[in-house]
Amino acid sequence: MIAKNFSHVTTWVFDLDNTLYPPRMRLFDQIEQRMTRWVMAKLGLDHDRANRLRADYWQRHGTTLAGLMREHDIDPMAYLADVHDIDFSVLDPDPILAAQIAALPGRRIVYTNADAPYAHKVLAARGLSGLFNAVYGVEHAGFLPKPEPAAFARVFALDGFDPDRATMFEDDARNLAAPHAMGLRTVHIAPVAAPAQHIDHHDTDLSAFLAKLV
């Protein structure tokens, strides 16, 4: 049974976007649109060029923010506040998921490439407030993004948990490589599996997977 593979876990690490809510709610579509508009305004590009640059920085640097910081020296907090000024009403509360997370033994944390204030808004909209011992954003990693190993090292050291007794849930398969190397059990939550040595489990839905651990 899958549950036996998690009997040692005392810390549960959750990504935020497209993990603690399903991709069909399309919250990140709003963020990507605001990212593109921000790049247009700040760098003087047309929509198509700005959109391509946004995607290129995400691919090469881990996040669009990381690319903008490294190549244009932008103010990260101003950027984060702007691109996360979105409509959270597209998110539905999920009492089943809330109960499943509450039932997990040990420490529960959120770690996102977004910022912590945004993460708290997402958790509130999903009915998940108060379930986590800590919420870490990219600011807690010194604005280093996943999948950089140094970003995970900073956040995990800040929290102080034992990686050998932890697991991480994440929708972006590349963001599970470093945690796996550090000793965490990894769970890829995404519509399509991405088989790799650093992925221990896959499911299309977080709630469906957590149901297997009961």
Q: Where are the domains of the chain?
A: 2-21+92-211, 27-83
pLDDT for residue 142 is more than 80: yes
Mean of pLDDT values over 132-152: 96
Per-chain mean pLDDT for the chain = 95
- pLDDT attached to residue 205: 97
Mean of pLDDT values over 129-133: 98
List the CATH code of the domain at 2-21+92-211. Answer: 3.40.50.1000
27-83 CATH choice from 1.10.420.10, 3.20.20.70, 3.30.43.10, 1.10.150.450 = 1.10.150.450
- In tens, the pLDDT along 38-88 reads 999 888 989 999 989 999 998 898 888 888 888 898 889 899 999 999 999
- Where residue 102 falls among pLDDT bands split at 50, 70, 90? very high
- pLDDT attached to residue 69: 85
- In tens, the pLDDT along 162-178 reads 999 999 999 999 999 99
State the CB neighbour count (10 A cutoff) for residue 172. 19
pLDDT for residue 180 is more than 90: yes
* 178/186 Cα distance (integer angstroms): 10
pLDDT for residue 214 is more than 80: no
**Cα–Cα separations (whole angstroms), residue 172 to 75, 85, 176, 192:** 25, 23, 7, 11
Query: Strand pairing of 166-170 and 185-189?
Result: parallel
- In tens, the pLDDT along 9-52 reads 999 999 999 999 999 999 989 999 999 999 998 889 899 999 89
- Where residue 127 falls among pLDDT bands split at 50, 70, 90? very high
Gyration radius from the chain CA atoms? 17
Q: Which phi-psi region, left, alpha or beta, contains residue 74 (left: φ > 0; alpha: ψ -120 to 50)?
A: beta
